[in-house]
Structure 1
Amino acid sequence: MNTQSREANLAWIPESGFQLRKAGVQFDAVRIDGDDGRRLADFLHRMTGGDPGPIVTEANGARAVYFLLPPGTTAHRSWPRGVTRLNSASGCFGYVPVPALRGPTWPLAWWSPPAADDRHFVHPLLLRAAAIELLD
Structure 2
Amino acid sequence: MNTKNSTLNLDWIPSSGFQLRKAGVQFDAVRVDGGDGCRLAKAMRSMVAGEPGPIIIAANGRRGVYFLLPAGSAAHKSWPEGVTRLNSAPGHVCYVPVPALTGRTWPLSWYVPPTTPDRFVHPLLLLNAANSLLG
| Fold equivalence (TM over 0.5) | yes
Shift of 1:91: 3.2
Matched with 1:134 is 133
Shift of 1:119: 4.1
Give, as a single letter, the amino acid of the residue that structure 2 aligns with 1:111: Y
Q: Deviations over 1:54-80 (max 9, x none)?
A: 000000000000000000001111100
State the distance in 2 between where 1:91 and 1:128 align: 25
Alignment of 1:1-136 (within 5 A): 8-116=8-116, 119-136=118-135
Q: How many residues in Structure 1 have an aligned counterpart in Structure 2? A: 130
Provide the TM-score with structure 1 as the length reference: 0.91
Shift of 1:92: 2.2
State the distance in 2 between where 1:18 and 1:36 align: 24
State the distance in 2 between where 1:46 and 1:61 align: 26
Shift of 1:93: 1.5
Give, as a single letter, the amino acid of the residue that structure 2 aligns with 1:22: K
State the distance in 1 between where 2:9 and 2:90 align: 30
State the distance in 1 between where 2:95 and 2:10 align: 17
2:8 counterpart SS class: coil
2:29 counterpart SS class: strand
Runs of 4 or more above 4 Å deviation: none
State the distance in 2 between where 1:65 and 1:74 align: 15
Give, as a single letter, the amino acid of the residue that structure 2 aligns with 1:128: L
- Name structure 2 gaps, 5 residues minimum: none
State the distance in 1 between where 2:80 and 2:112 align: 22
State the distance in 2 between where 1:56 and 1:8 align: 17
- Name structure 1 gaps, 5 residues minimum: none
State the distance in 1 between where 2:118 and 2:26 align: 14
